[in-house]
Amino acid sequence: MGRFVRVHDGALVLREAGHEVYTPGLPGIGERTHLTSPQVDLTTHVTDVANTILYEDLSDIVLLGYSYGDMVVTGALEHVADHVTLLVYLDAFLPRAGDSLNDLARASYSRGRPAP
């Protein structure tokens, strides 16, 4: 079975299928909401996910970004590309270098369709 790092949520289906799944908690979100502060930002989340992969010594992983997680996995990939065999975006934007989530959402709404 595969080894996944999923950002964020939704690991149950993968685990039930027999996959090994890591779901690093993001400060300020979900069960780590109590860690919200002005210093917590996308860079914090990218660093946390990359460090999880490095500290757990994970290799040959599928790095999966769901919703806002697309921004996080895109950034994390720059630090851990040699550990990743596949990058997956699920119900997400496809950010390029320099894109912000606000800009991507705004562009989607201006075209008259809902953002993912």
Active site residues: 67
Helix, strand, coil in percent for the chain, rounding step 5: 45, 20, 40
What does residue 79 show for φ and ψ, rounded to 5 degrees?
-100, -25
Residue 100 burial by CB count (10 A; 0-12/13-18/19+): exposed, middle or buried? exposed
Token couple for 52: 């999880």
CA distance 51 to 44: 10
DSSP-derived 3-state class of residue 13: helix
